[in-house]
């Protein structure tokens, strides 16, 4: 038994052959028998993959996650088993870098997957070549058979509504505290990156501007001074500004505007506290320093309470600002009958005398006179 030429398993996989045998060299008086023989053709890899379509078109949302399936492509192969196995790949590296393709081991389909995030605003369409190649190839057939095929893959990115995007991550501005109410602070800008450019409205979040010291133009994002600034009250203002779509999903985003208030010379200097200097009676003084910034020069060599118990010293304090500001105060210097340790008494008769501008001896004399007069008056009353 011999085979026919050009047998093709893909055209006919099985043949049923009836075989008959006879004895006596085929004479009519002889006997015969017959049987049916089933002949199955085994497969060889004599067919390459062929795509079903010249172009595959898929659509994918720009918000799709990396790893999501974009679509499936399929190449037919007339062979079976390992001869029908194929691998898919994407060509045109620049276009295909955002995607990858894997072979489904069960269906032998090419599964196109997302490899990188999409952005509708930067690229809306990808066009690339997809190739299918047999995994196992019979070297004897390479000279007259192609074991690969190509198709075109087009992927369209669909727009997803996104929140407005500010042109800067944050904003920082500086202004003197004497800025005029109504003056422009600056402008913050956001844009809608979607295909349909939705109008945007701006606002200042109330919690970031409790005093309502600022206001904003809702249409263009220009910020103005609404109240006078005072650096001594607040050196920084951190405004949270929101940009919100007026149509579709009303999506919004926020940014922080940092405003630094610069100091100006608007406060006259004054003594840091209520000073109460004193000079011990009978002390020889040339110079007395009360702190690191102010010194009092004594022009007299000796002070006594007989001459004077207090001295009123006008003090003018001038700062170095531009323009320079000043203030005047009166410093009261007391001449005190100091204790042995050099301390001036802060209570009792000495303190009372100092507060009245008398010496202690004078005050005691007055008290004695007052007591004598009171005693005499009481004595006269009892006699009558």
The residue ranking higher by pLDDT, 244 or 293, is 244
8 A C-beta contact, residue 132 and residue 87: yes
Residues linked to residue 284 through DSSP beta bridges, in sequence order: 302
Mean pLDDT across 289-306: 55
Q: Residues 260-274: pLDDT tens digits?
A: 998 776 666 666 666
Which residue do the tokens 């029908």 mark? Answer: 84
**Which residue, among 375, 265, 357, has the nearest Cα to 307 in the 3D structure?**
357
Most confident of 89-98, 123-132, 244-253: 123-132
**Residue 194, pLDDT above cutoff 80:** no
Helix axes 360-383, 348-356, angle to 10 degrees: 100
How far apart are the C-alpha atoms of 223 and 217, rounded to whole Å? 7
Domains of the chain are: 1-42 (no CATH), 50-158 (2.60.40.60), 165-262 (2.60.40.60), 278-363 (no CATH)
Rg of the chain, C-alpha, whole Å: 53
Instruction: State the average pLDDT over residues 206-231.
Output: 92
pTM: 0.46
How many C-beta atoms surround the C-beta of residue 5 within 10 A? 5
pLDDT in the model for residue 330: 72
Burial of 106 (0-12, 13-18, 19+ CB in 10 A): exposed
CB distance 83 to 45 below 8 Å: yes
Whole-angstrom Cα distance, residue 56 to residue 235? Answer: 62
| Residue 347 confidence (pLDDT) | 47
Instruction: Give residue-wise pLDDT tens across range 163-181.
Output: 888 989 999 999 888 889 9
Residue 266 pLDDT: 62
pLDDT for 144 equals 59
SS3 state at 337: coil
Q: Which long-range contacts (CB under 8 A, 24 or more apart) does 92-95 make?
A: 92/127, 92/128, 92/129, 95/126, 95/127, 95/128
Mean pLDDT taken over the chain: 78
Phi-psi category of residue 169: left, alpha or beta, with phi > 0 → left and psi -120 to 50 → alpha: alpha
Rounded mean pLDDT, 317-338: 70
pLDDT for residue 355: 52
Residue 246 has a pLDDT of: 82
pLDDT tens, 349-375?
Answer: 455 555 555 555 565 566 667 777 776
């Amino acid at each position: 038994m011999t085979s026919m030429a050009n047998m093709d398993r893909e055209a006919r996989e099985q043949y049923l052959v009836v075989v008959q045998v006879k004895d006596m060299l085929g004479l009519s008086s002889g006997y015969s028998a017959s049987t049916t023989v089933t002949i199955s053709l085994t497969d060889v890899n004599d067919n390459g993959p062929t795509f079903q379509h010249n172009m595959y078109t898929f659509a994918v949302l720009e918000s799709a996650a990396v790893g999501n399936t974009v679509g499936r492509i399929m190449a037919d192969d007339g062979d079976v088993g390992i001869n029908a196995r194929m691998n898919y790949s994407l060509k045109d590296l620049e276009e295909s870098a955002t995607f990858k393709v894997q072979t489904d081991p069960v269906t032998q389909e090419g599964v196109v997957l997302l490899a990188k995030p999409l952005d509708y605003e930067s690229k809306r369409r990808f066009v690339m070549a997809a190739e299918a190649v047999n995994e196992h190839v019979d070297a004897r057939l390479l000279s007259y058979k192609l074991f690969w095929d190509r198709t075109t893959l087009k992927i369209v990115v669909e727009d997803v509504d996104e929140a407005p995007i500010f042109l800067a991550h944050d904003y920082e501005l500086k202004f003197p505290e004497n800025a005029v109410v109504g003056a422009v602070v600056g402008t913050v800008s956001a844009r809608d990156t979607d295909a349909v450019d939705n109008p945007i409205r701006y606002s200042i979040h109330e919690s970031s501007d409790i005093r309502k010291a600022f206001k904003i133009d809702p249409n263009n994002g220009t910020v103005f001074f609404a109240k006078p600034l005072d650096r001594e009250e607040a050196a920084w203002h951190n405004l949270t500004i929101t940009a919100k779509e007026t149509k579709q999903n009303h999506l919004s985003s926020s940014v922080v505007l940092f405003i630094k208030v610069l100091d100006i010379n608007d406060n006259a200097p004054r003594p840091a506290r209520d000073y109460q200097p004193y000079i011990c009676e009978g002390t020889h003084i040339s110079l007395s320093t009360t702190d690191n910034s102010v010194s009092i020069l004594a022009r007299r060599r000796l002070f006594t309470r007989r001459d004077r118990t207090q001295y009123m010293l006008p003090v003018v304090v001038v700062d170095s600002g531009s323009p320079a500001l000043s203030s005047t105060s009166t410093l009261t210097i007391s001449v005190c009958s100091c204790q042995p340790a050099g301390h001036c008494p802060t209570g009792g008769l000495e303190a009372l005398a100092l507060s009245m501008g008398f010496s202690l001896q004078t005050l005691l004399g007055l008290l004695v006179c007052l007591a004598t007069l009171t005693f005499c008056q009481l004595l006269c009353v009892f006699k009558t």
